[in-house]
């Protein structure tokens, strides 16, 4: 079995042991430096990163493969990459850039495997008479139309 398949298999065993964790990215460079990027439904603890790291490191023979290993969690300001991250962040404020470079900022009210729904308040002129009224706006976005999305930390 090749090195990449071995690492991926060991990583899957570690993730199966902790189902609240999920993989965002796995990179293996030409000189066997392994970078694992994780997220979790309840966040990612240091202990979780250590457990994943040990599962990989302790099951690869260093005599056969020279490698480095880095296991970490996504940063708080990192872009969202997979549907499970959106589902985890329902109720939070997102900034989303679509493929036409339009920017939407709103509360993530719904998310599923196909896309998301954002809601925000806006002031608009009254339909009749002078003045403005506050209305709730809604925008549905398919994942295929999202260029970048990140959680806004207040």
Same-fold call for 3-73 versus 83-151: no
Helix (H) or strand (E) holding 39: strand 33-40
Q: Are strands 93-98 and 146-151 parallel, antiparallel or unpaired?
A: antiparallel
3-state secondary structure of 26: strand
pLDDT digits (tens, 9 = 90+) for 73-108: 998 889 999 999 999 999 999 999 999 999 999 999
pLDDT digits (tens, 9 = 90+) for 131-143: 999 999 999 999 9
Mean pLDDT of 61-82: 91
Q: Which among 55, 6, 74, 65 is positioned nearest to 33, based on CA atoms?
A: 65
Report CA torsion sign: 57, 63, 67, 68.
positive
The CATH number that domain 3-73 falls under is 3.30.300.20
pLDDT digits (tens, 9 = 90+) for 112-130: 999 999 999 999 998 888 8
- How do the domains of the chain map onto residue ranges? 3-73, 83-151
Angle at 80 between CA 33 and CA 16, to 5 degrees: 60
Identify whether the C-beta of residue 49 lies closer than 8 Å to the C-beta of residue 72.
yes
Check residue 95 and give its pLDDT. 97
Architecture of domain 83-151: Roll (2.30)
**CA dist., res. 77 & res. 152, Å (int):** 8
Check residue 128 and give its pLDDT. 86
Q: Which among 18, 19, 149 is positioned nearest to 90, based on CA atoms?
A: 149
Half-sphere exposure of 142 (CA within 13 A, CB side): 4
Helix (H) or strand (E) holding 13: helix 3-17
- Asked whether the predicted pLDDT for residue 1 surpasses 80, the reply is no
């Amino acid at each position: 079995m090749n090195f990449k398949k071995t690492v991926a298999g060991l990583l899957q065993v570690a993730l199966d042991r902790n189902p609240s964790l999920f993989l965002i990215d796995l990179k293996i460079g030409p000189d066997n430096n392994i970078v694992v990027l994780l997220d979790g439904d309840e966040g990612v603890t240091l202990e979780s990163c250590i457990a994943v790291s040990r599962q990989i490191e302790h099951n690869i023979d260093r005599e056969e493969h020279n490698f480095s290993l880095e296991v970490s969690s996504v940063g708080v300001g990192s872009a969202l990459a997979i549907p499970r991250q959106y589902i985890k962040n329902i109720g939070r404020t997102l900034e989303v850039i679509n493929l036409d470079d339009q920017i939407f900022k709103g509360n993530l009210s719904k998310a599923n495997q196909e896309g998301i729904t954002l809601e925000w308040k806006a002031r608009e002129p009254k339909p009749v008479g002078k003045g403005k009224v506050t209305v709730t706006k809604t925008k549905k976005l398919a994942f295929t139309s999202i260029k970048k999305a990140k959680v806004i930390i207040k």
